[in-house]
Structure 1
Amino acid sequence: MTGDPHSRTDGEAPEDTCGFALADRLAARDARGLRRDLRPIDRVAGRARMAADPRRDRPVYGDEQLVFGSNNYLGLARDDRVVRAARKAAAAVGTGAGASRLVTGDTGLHRALERDLAETKGTERALLFSSGYAANVGTVAALDPDVIFSDDLNHASIVDGCRLADAETVVYDHCDSGSLCEAMAARQDERDAGESWLVVTDSVFSMDGDVAPLSAICDAAERHEAWVMVDEAHATGLYEGAGIVQREGLGDRVQVQVGTLSKALASQGGYVVGSDRLVEYLLNAARSFVFSTGLAPPAVGAAREALRIARQGTRPARLWNAVDRLRDGLESLGYDVLGETQILPVVVGDRDDALALANRLSDRGIVAPAIRSPTVPAGTSRIRIAPTATHAASELERCLDAFELAGRELDLV
């Protein structure tokens, strides 16, 4: 007679005696320096209090710190106008959509934001998803291309979409249109008649802060009759109120544009914009859309108002002023700062040095996360700085002062 695995008294968890061995897996992550903890924050803003991971207990927050590690680029997450829009949507429509959009979860509010996004992006139509991750996974899998050409540093959601599509995936060198051209030319001789090819790339890369060479990518794709899909997650709302595709005038050459509402637009959810036929197909075939409850109305209302502010207000200009000051200040201190966008990766190199620098910054009231392998290649560990449009000039100077003192203490500058 077998025993009841739920009635053990020896301290062993059931999952560690049934082949899953979660304790061993966690120990292995510890040994490789890959174990991470959640750190609750009391509010989403340029200033906030953080707590050590409380596990099952309530968090105990420390002193207020300046947050330079958020994707709330325009500082709209606590903007009164955006908060009011979320409340208004909840009062008018409800706190949740209640069902899949294909059942009863499709509201006029969803359609209004989709019209706004399509207008902003200059496309025929848009479709909202529950997250940017869901938009990427669902779109790539639904398109089901025969061959995918994917940038080496594409986001995990794109990578997972390639896996779900079960397509032949060719990875080309990061932001290297020449590598893409070579990969496509090498595969052309084996191409079957009618074979569908998809080139997919982020526009702004979240860990390097650089921008894909979209025009050259479109050139390569057109030579080989391939479609181009661009993820504008870290660009939406920041470049002419739209994205890199619009800044570079490539709207008629990029067949699929994907993005998120959770970064500059200070809300939740993802979207796809493109032709009417593309959207009509995805709302029928993208499983992450079909089988998910519609985006919560407060998130839709908040994102719609944030998009309006991004297009018509001064927030983007204020963000770029903050970015320029931090980049100039960090480089003058001797730090190596990558990229050309609102994301400022300060390369340290050694993993332990990056962690030590992040801790010293935290001691001085600056939240700026250390990013290390496997998120970035070994030997390129870094501090990822992301200012917001609402950081005051004095707060930017405080951040630079902290980097100067901490860097000297660690012999990094």
Structure 2
Amino acid sequence: MTHGFDLDARLQARADDDLRRRLEVAESVGDRTRLADDPKGDAPEFGDESVVFAANDYLGLTDDDRLQRAAELGARTVGTGAGASRLVTGDTVAHRALERDLADCKGTERALVFSSGYAANVGIVDALSPDVVFSDELNHASIIDGCRLGAGETVVYDHCDADDLRAKMEERADDGAAAADGDTADGRWLVVTDSVFSMDGDVAPLSALCDAAEEHGAWLMVDEAHATGLFGERGGGVVQREGLSDRVDVQMGTLSKALASQGGYVAGDEALVEYLLNAARSFVFSTGLAPPAAASAREALRIARETDQSDRLWSNVETLRNGLEAMGYEVLGETHILPVLVGDRADALELDERLRDRAVVAPAIRPPTVPEGTSRIRVAPTATHTDQELQRCLDAFEAAGEEVGLL
């Protein structure tokens, strides 16, 4: 009898379900790049340049000179790495400056930076250790994993449906968990949602969720990963845009999308942050964020708050949405994320390939990432895509759609 793991069989099963993925190395980071198959240790062999509509670099800052200079200055003045956990000797002026700016843009007393958004979500939920988490059914995997690790019980409510949330909270309360001041008879309740959903491009009804949470004495945690730097006068996200900073107990986000760096953060009151820096294991036992990443994220946040960089993004979003819909595509959502609904898994994968044949990279998203029958192409424009690149994308969608039989 053997007790090993048959990984070849597992990989074949994923391939049979069209779920096996492979690494694809990019020559550079930006709106245009050349791509190569996984070199597996050898030098990559790049093909022709492609236009990329698959990154979360929404403001187009990943290759911006201002961020590169900020990262270089951070490395020269502080170092290339933090060298230790923040609680040991890895707490630097670069981290503190970034956290002050994040707290200011989020309208909170304090902020805390983690090594990644994933680490932030898992660490926050685990540290809070809620007895019941009420989670939107389309929340990000990092939230789901945080619930698996730290929640006593997880109740999933219908996507963006505050009425269903309220009904499930009332049902749970009727089972003997009446709420009072944030604590129920069974313990603590936490409602968790993304603000902007990365695969549907829609926005959570945050005000209504606040109402439902407050009725039952629960806390509300909002993940602003795809909203930080893009919404609100101070770039704080949807929470800030809707004036809800004083009603959302835990605000979380990432530095790796619109802010074009690396890391995650949590923002809230002094007690929350002080508790998390002591109790969130993914913070306590992790080396601090690299100072160049902290410095470049801070510069990106400044650009998002003080310039009109986002105006070009929203113009590009409108151009692509209008063009795709005029062809006959159904484009979901209401934000800068443009999910082009295809439906059939095979059709979505074929459309992906036909777009790549025309040097346009926009990935097919299929189950289990999205529900059965809703496979799609996820289009993510940036502020720095040119008019010519937008037209190239639209031309590719038109020709590829006709070839696949979608138009």
TM-score using structure 2 length: 0.96
> 2:51: which partner in 1?
66
The residue aligned with 1:219 is: 211
Matches within 5 A, 1:2-401: 18-189=3-174, 190-191=176-177, 192-193=184-185, 195-240=187-232, 241-401=235-395
Q: Which moved more, 1:29-38 or 1:291-300?
A: 29-38
| Cα drift, residue 314 of structure 1 | 1.3
Output the aligned Cα RMSD.
Answer: 1.1
Unaligned 5+ segments in structure 2 are 178-183
Identity between Structure 1 and Structure 2 (%):
69
Cα offset, 1:195, TM superposition: 2.0
Aligned-partner Cα distance in 2 for 1:58–1:269: 29
Give distance in 1, aligned partners of 2:94 and 2:404.
Answer: 52
Which amino acid is 2:89 matched to?
T
Q: Per-residue CA shift, 1:98-143, capped at 9, x if unaligned?
A: 0000000000110000000000101000000000000000000000
How far residue 17 of structure 1 moved from its aligned partner, in angstroms, is 5.7
Bigger shift: residues 49-58 or 291-300: 49-58
TM-superposition CA deviations, 1:230-265 (whole Å, max 9, x none): 000000000021200001111000000000000000
CA-CA distance at 1:283 after TM superposition: 0.3
Residue-by-residue CA offset, 1:245-296 (whole Å, 9 max, x unaligned): 0011110000000000000000000000000000000000000000000000
One-letter amino acid of the counterpart of residue 15, structure 2: D
**Offset from partner CA, 1:380-401 (integer Å, 9 cap, x none):** 1100000000001111111101
Cα deviation, residue 365, structure 1: 1.1
Which letter maps to 1:205?
Answer: F
Q: Displacement, 1:164?
A: 0.7
Displacement of 1:210: 0.5
Shift of 1:18: 4.1
Residue deviations 1:132-177 (CA, integer Å, cap 9, x gap): 0000000000001111000000000000000111411100001111
What is the rounded CA distance, in whole Å, between the counterparts of 2:77 and 2:270 in structure 1? 28
- Give runs of ≥4 in structure 1 deviating > 4 Å: none
CA apart distance, 1:55: 2.4
Helix, strand or coil for the counterpart of 2:289?
A: coil
Task: Give the length in aligned residue pairs.
Answer: 398
Q: Displacement of 1:194 after TM fit?
A: 6.4
User: Which consecutive residues of structure 1, in runs of 5 or more, have no partner in the other structure?
Assistant: 1-15
Cα distance between partner residues in 2 of 1:18 and 1:61? 41
Q: Give the match for residue 181 of structure 2.
A: none
Q: CA deviation at 1:404?
A: 0.6
Tell me what 1:7 maps to: none
Map Cα deviations across residues 295-339 of structure 1 (whole Å, 9 max, x no partner): 000100100000000001111111000000000000000001000
- Contact kept, 8 Å, 2:127 with 2:279, in 1: the verdict is yes
Contact kept, 8 Å, 2:364 with 2:377, in 1: the verdict is yes
Q: Which residue of 2 aligns with 1:11?
A: none
Q: Does the alignment pair 1:412 with 2:406? A: yes
CA contact (8 A) 2:324 2:331 kept: yes
